Amino acid sequence: MIQINVNGKLRQVDVSPDTPLLWVLRDSLGLTGTKYGCGQALCGVCTVHVDGAPLRACATPVSAVAGRKITTIETADQSRVGKAVQEAWRTLDVVQCGYCQSGQIMNAVALLGRNRKPSDADIDNAMSGALCRCATYVRIRAAIHLAAKSLA
């Protein structure tokens, strides 16, 4: 049994320690908002926060995050920044297929958590690891600026 802290709750999971956090969230805990895209930390769709920092859940063994605070898209609206980002995404209708957007949002929330007024270059740096096959990038950029404005 491994104990992890997900979205403010302590959870016991009976999995082998090498199981990536992604599959623990999805298959063991039913938190399917975090998606599988590549399994090798190459696309960013599985991004969650661990102690507030963005982390690729698909390439992180669950044993490495035991005892640390994990936040997923399901509770993104519980922070002021998370709410602002989701609101901006909806105002601008950023999503298309939507599959990568949990990851995009978790990356954007992390960016705005540490930088309330990101430049385009800051956005490029923070977001270039998060792939969107629908290429909603124009609106992702605009929504981050909009969220920053609403938080100012």
Partner 1 sequence: MPNRNIENASRRNFLQGAAGLTLGFYLPAIAAPAAAGKAAPSATPASADTPTFAPNAFLRVGVDNSVTVIAKHLEMGQGSYTGLATILAEELDADWKTVRVEGAPADATRYNNLFWGPAQGTGGSNAMANSWDQLRQAGATGRAMLVSAAARRWKVPAKEITVREGIVSHPPSKRRLHFGELAEAAASEAVPAKVALKDPKDFRLVGKHAPRKDSVDKTNGRAIFTQDIQLPGMRVAVVAHPPRFGATVRGFDAKAARRVKGVTDVVQIPTGVAVLATDTWSAKKGRDALSVDWDESRAFRLGSEEILARYREMAKLPGLVAHKSGDADQAFAAAASIVKAAYDFPYLAHAAMEPMDCVIQLNAQGCEVWNGEQMHTGDQSQLAGIFGLKPEQVKINMLYAGGSFGRRASTDSDYVVEAAQIVKAIGGTAPVKLVWLREDDMRAGYYRPMFHHALEAALDANGKLTGWRHRLVGQSILAGSPFESMMVKDGIDKVSVEGADNLPYAIPNKLVDLHSPPDIKVPVLWWRSVGSSHTAYATEVFLDLVARSAKKDPVALRLELLAGHPRHAGVLKLAAEKSDWATPLKSGAPGSRRGRGVAVHESFSSYVAQVAEVTVAADGSIKVDRVVCAVDCGIAINPDNIRSQVEGAVGFALSAALHGEITLKDGVVVQGNFDGYQLLRIDEMPKVEVHILPSSERPTGIGEPGVPPLAPAVANAIAAATGKYPTRLPFRAEEFRV
b vs e for 4-24, b when ≥16 Cβ sit within 10 Å of the residue's Cβ?
bbbbeeebebebeeebbbbbb
CB of 76 to partner 1, least distance (A): 7
Binding positions for partner 1, rule: CB under 8 A: 15-16, 19-20, 23, 26-28, 30-40, 42-43, 45, 72-74, 76-77, 86, 89-90, 93-102, 105, 123-124, 127-141
Cα separation, 36 vs 79, whole angstroms: 24
CB of 3 to partner 1, least distance (A): 18
Between 42 and 53, name the residue whose CB sits nearer to partner 1: 42
Between 10 and 58, name the residue whose CB sits nearer to partner 1: 58
CB of 123 to partner 1, least distance (A): 7
CB of 82 to partner 1, least distance (A): 10
Cα separation, 84 vs 67, whole angstroms: 28
Between 81 and 105, name the residue whose CB sits nearer to partner 1: 105
The encoded tokens of residue 15 equal: 């999995």
Cα separation, 101 vs 94, whole angstroms: 9
CA 3-74-96 angle, 5° bins: 135
Between 3 and 128, name the residue whose CB sits nearer to partner 1: 128
Q: Which residues pair with 20 in a beta bridge?
A: 61
